Amino acid sequence: MIRIAVVQFTPALGDKPWNLQALRRIIERSEADLIVLPELCTTGYFFTSKHELAPLAEVPDGEASRMFGALATSKRSIIVAGIAERSGASYFNSVFVFRPGEPEPLVYRKSHLFYKESMVFEPGDTGFPVFRDERLDVTVGVMLCYDWRFPEAARCLALEGADVIVCPSNLVTDAWRKVMPARAIENKLFVAVANRAGTEDRDGEVLEFKGHSALYDPWGEALLQAGPSGDDVLVAEIDPSRSRDKRFNDRNDIFLDRRPELYARLLRM
């Protein structure tokens, strides 16, 4: 069994010191093996120029990484955080995964950019990472927010052996609440969605973030569910091995029943 914490957190746009302090307090109070934070949790979301993002973006051994890395080691927790990443002159909407005792985070760069993100970020080039933690006997796959609209993302992670998909998010529509459980069912695994709440207003354009952070089990049932607004830390114990048997009756196995030879040509289009 592992304890997983899904954190709903509303960052202050552009105020990294405030966000880091608030996130530190949340993590210090959380007792969990795996802590999932929202997308762009150290900076806020709605950036419309690289110029304004530049002083806030992180390299993998930067200020935020040092804080999260030290917390991961002292708490013996895996910490998954959505972070604006700088790499040379490029910026990526990334997830950094901090593991106890690991000097550098594992980095996932968002594959599918949403709305005005392409004004600031480059499309990700990492593919969909999966990592194994032997101590906890869990395999974790990483995707990010709008990746939910592409079933290929969750499928890649499932085929790579993920027991749990972590999905830091800043979701502004409601459709995902119907679809994220489907990602859990069709891959028979756990899905942890750490969303944010609140609003951000840029020159009169208001984005409303929808909250409802959740943890779905391999049958698509919500084990945890936050409200539409406000911050929250939701904690549940799960047995990751319950995702490994892909049968749902004594004749059907969702992996063995696949027909990749029929999908291959279309998937390359």
Binding residues for ligand ACM, rule: CB under 6 A, are: 39, 114, 145-146, 170-172
Q: 98 vs 146, which CB is nearer to ligand ACM?
A: 146
CB of 114 to ligand ACM, least distance (A): 3
How far does CA 158 lie from the centroid of its chain?
Answer: 15
Identified catalytic residue from 16, 85, 110, 210: 110
Q: 58 vs 117, which CB is nearer to ligand ACM?
A: 117
Q: 2 vs 143, which CB is nearer to ligand ACM?
A: 143
CB of 197 to ligand ACM, least distance (A): 13
Write phi, then psi, for 67 (nearest 5 degrees).
-65, -50
**Is 16 a catalytic site residue?**
no
CB of 111 to ligand ACM, least distance (A): 11
Identified catalytic residue from 41, 58, 85, 145: 145
With H, G, I as helix, E, B as strand and everything else as coil, classify residue 262: helix
CB of 170 to ligand ACM, least distance (A): 4
Question: Both tokens of residue 64?
Answer: 């935020």
**Is 39 a catalytic site residue?**
yes
254: number of Cβ within 10 Å:
14
Question: CA 36, CA 6: separation in Å to the nearest integer?
Answer: 5
Question: Both tokens of residue 9?
Answer: 């957190």
Q: Are 192 and 183 in contact (CB under 8 A)?
A: no
CB of 113 to ligand ACM, least distance (A): 8
Question: CA 154, CA 162: separation in Å to the nearest integer?
Answer: 9
DSSP secondary structure string, 96-161? EEE-TT-SS-EEEE-SS--GGGGGT-PPP-S---EEEETTTTEEEEE--GGGGG-HHHHHHHHHTT
Length of the chain counted residue by residue: 269
Q: Are 68 and 98 in contact (CB under 8 A)?
A: yes
Q: 207 vs 254, which CB is nearer to ligand ACM?
A: 207
The conformation of residue 133, written as its DSSP 8-state character, comes to E
Q: 5 vs 171, which CB is nearer to ligand ACM?
A: 171
Identified catalytic residue from 16, 39, 156, 200: 39
CB of 149 to ligand ACM, least distance (A): 9
Q: 207 vs 235, which CB is nearer to ligand ACM?
A: 207
Instruction: Pick the closest to residue 181 from 171, 170, 192 (CA basis).
Output: 192
Q: Are 128 and 160 in contact (CB under 8 A)?
A: yes
Catalytic sites, residue numbers: 39, 110, 145
